[in-house]
């Protein structure tokens, strides 16, 4: 039985007594449960973790060593076994648990606890648990906490770029299980699988794939191939710019320079803002200034062009040049941006006085 309380009614009509193939029809009805059903999930990178469980209450009972005895396999919740699901392989205390759905059990002890991930995820409690179905066992250390938790709960804490901690809280204990994923490998595998079937794909799909490889600094030749396909589908600012960035990453200066010239012919003033911002984020202010100057050269009638170059000069601490260009931006700025530019001018004046 999964996630439901089942009430079964035998529906035997008078005809049934005369029928040698007599059958019993079953009706499943959901009813409230004392330990209520709950789910909690967390994404790390592109991996979704999920815990499906029921929440028993302390209810003035002694939990550890009494209601939940030591040295006995426990369902880590109530009713059906708790279920842990992961979309990708996950590393737990140095051990790899393959992607899948697992029954989550624990063996409480006075010292370290044993956390069990069972290949059987659909049993009632831990009564039918069998060690032969274990996919993984790890040891963790329970921690006494000041905050009292009346109803058992799971949460994902300490969420980082490639890891998090699955934590069980009940009464005065926290049982923490560290989870780690290989974000880069998972992303590459997902991208390759998605792009293997070209049905319905657009230039942006290949652009995103190339961009990920570029910023993850991995498989740059594959990124170049994907960027080429993106350009073949649609030669626009984004596709050409990404291909030029990948060429730089591959130290292919000739192709990069050729593509950057094409980028300049395609870029709007707002596109130049994007390029400038990327170089600023990389703290390459000289490159940012170079592209800001291209923007002014190609879009002299746009306030954005002068704003871009003023911003870079400000970061280079060339305040007079920054002020000069902010004033040019002010003359061209639309009404809804005038106050913003005026604020930038005042900031520069105050910092220069």
Same domain, 244 and 298: yes
Residue 8 confidence (pLDDT): 33
Q: What is the pTM of this model?
A: 0.78
For residues 168 and 303, membership in a common domain is answered with: no
Q: Is residue 23 part of a domain?
A: no
Q: How far apart are CA 304 and CA 288, in angstroms?
A: 14
Pair (145, 232) in one structural domain:
no
Q: What is the rounded distance in angstroms from the CA atom of residue 310 to the CA atom of residue 308? A: 5
Q: What's the number of domains the chain is made of?
A: 2
Cα separation values, 77 from 36, 55, 149, 282, 351, Å: 10, 6, 13, 48, 60
Domain end: 147, 181, 215, which one? Answer: 181
pLDDT recorded at residue 29? 78
User: Which residues does 145 contact at the CB level (< 8 Å), separation at least 6?
Assistant: 169, 172, 173, 174
Instruction: Examine the domain organization and report whether 176 and 231 are in the same domain.
Output: no
> What residue numbers bound the domain in which 114 lies?
35-181
| 302-312 confidence digits (pLDDT tens) | 999 999 999 99
Q: Cα separations (Å) of 346 from 31, 63, 323, 353?
A: 66, 64, 9, 11
Contact by Cβ (8 Å): 99, 88: yes
pLDDT tens digits for range 94-113: 999 999 999 999 999 999 99
- The domain boundary, picked from 181, 206, 229, lies at 181
44 and 190 share one domain: no
State the Cα–Cα distance between residues 50 and 181, nearest whole angstrom: 14
Q: What is the Cβ-side half-sphere exposure of residue 30, based on CA atoms within 13 angstroms?
A: 5
Q: Is 74 part of a structural domain of the chain? A: yes
Within this chain, do residues 225 and 328 fall inside the same structural domain, yes or no?
yes
Residues 279 and 242 in one domain: yes
Residue 316 in domain: yes
For the ranges 29-43, 147-161, 222-236, 270-284, which has the lowest average pLDDT?
29-43
Q: What is the pLDDT of residue 31?
A: 78
CA–CA separation, 50 and 69 (whole Å): 26
> What is the share, in percent, of the chain residues with pLDDT greater than 70?
92
pLDDT band at 22 (very low <50, low <70, confident <90, very high): very low
User: Are 302 and 239 within one domain?
Assistant: yes
Tokens of 139: 């040891």
The closest alpha carbon to 28, from 13, 9, 54, belongs to 9
| 4 has pLDDT over 80 | no
* Rounded Cα–Cα distance for residues 54 and 156 (Å): 16
Q: pLDDT-based confidence at 27, cuts 50/70/90?
A: low
124 Cβ contact list (under 8 Å, min separation 6)? 1, 79, 80, 81
Q: Which of 146, 181, 216 is the last residue of a domain?
A: 181
Do 170 and 206 reside in the same domain of the chain?
no
Tokens at 133, concatenated:
């179905």
User: Where residue 345 sits, what CATH number does that domain have?
Assistant: 1.25.40.10
Q: Which is more confident, 292 or 31?
A: 292
Tell whether 102 and 193 lie within a shared domain: no
In a domain? residue 49: yes
pLDDT of residue 30: 77
Residue 133, judged by CB atoms within 10 A of its CB (0-12, 13-18, 19+), counts as: middle
Q: What is the mean pLDDT of the chain?
A: 91
Q: pLDDT-based confidence at 18, cuts 50/70/90?
A: very low
**Quick one: average pLDDT of 272-287?**
96
User: Is 66 a member of any domain?
Assistant: yes
Listed in sequence order, the residues at least 6 apart from 328 whose beta carbon sits closer than 8 Å to its beta carbon are: 303, 306, 310
Rounded to whole angstroms, the Cα distance separating 15 from 69 reads: 51
Whether residues 146 and 240 share a domain: the answer is no
Examine the domain organization and report whether 165 and 196 are in the same domain. Answer: no
With a cut of 80, say whether residue 142 has pLDDT above it: yes
């Amino acid at each position: 039985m999964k996630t439901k309380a089942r009430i079964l009614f035998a529906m035997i009509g008078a005809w049934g007594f005369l029928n040698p193939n007599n059958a019993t029809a079953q009706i499943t009805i959901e009813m409230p449960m004392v330990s209520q059903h709950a789910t909690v999930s967390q994404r790390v990178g592109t991996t979704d973790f999920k815990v499906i469980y029921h929440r028993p209450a302390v209810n003035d009972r002694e939990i550890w060593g009494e209601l939940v005895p030591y040295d006995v396999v426990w369902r880590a919740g109530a009713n059906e076994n708790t279920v842990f699901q992961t979309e990708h392989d996950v590393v737990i205390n140095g051990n790899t648990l393959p992607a899948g759905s697992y029954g989550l059990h624990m063996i409480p002890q006075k010292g370290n606890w044993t956390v069990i991930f069972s290949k059987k995820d659909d049993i009632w409690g831990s009564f039918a648990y069998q060690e032969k179905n274990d996919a993984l066992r790890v040891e963790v250390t329970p921690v006494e906490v000041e905050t009292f938790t009346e109803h058992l709960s799971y949460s994902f804490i300490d969420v980082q770029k490639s890891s998090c901690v699955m934590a069980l809280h009940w009464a005065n204990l926290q049982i923490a299980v560290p989870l780690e994923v290989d974000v880069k490998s998972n992303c590459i595998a997902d991208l390759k699988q998605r792009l293997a079937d070209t049905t319905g794909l657009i230039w942006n799909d290949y652009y995103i794939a190339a961009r990920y490889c570029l910023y993850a600094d991995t498989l740059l030749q594959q990124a170049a191939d994907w960027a080429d396909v993106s350009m073949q589908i649609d030669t626009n600012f984004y596709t050409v710019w990404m291909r030029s960035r990948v060429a730089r990453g591959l130290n292919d200066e000739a192709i990069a320079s050729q593509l950057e010239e094409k980028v300049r012919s395609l870029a709007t003033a707002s596109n130049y803002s994007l390029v400038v911002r990327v170089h600023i984020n990389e703290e390459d202010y000289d490159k940012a200034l170079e592209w800001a100057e291209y923007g002014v050269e190609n879009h002299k009638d746009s306030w954005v062009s002068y704003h871009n170059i003023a911003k870079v000069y400000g970061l280079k601490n060339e305040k007079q040049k920054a002020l000069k260009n902010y004033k040019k931006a002010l003359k061209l700025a639309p009404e809804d941006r005038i106050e913003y530019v005026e604020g930038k001018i005042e900031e520069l004046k105050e910092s220069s006085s």
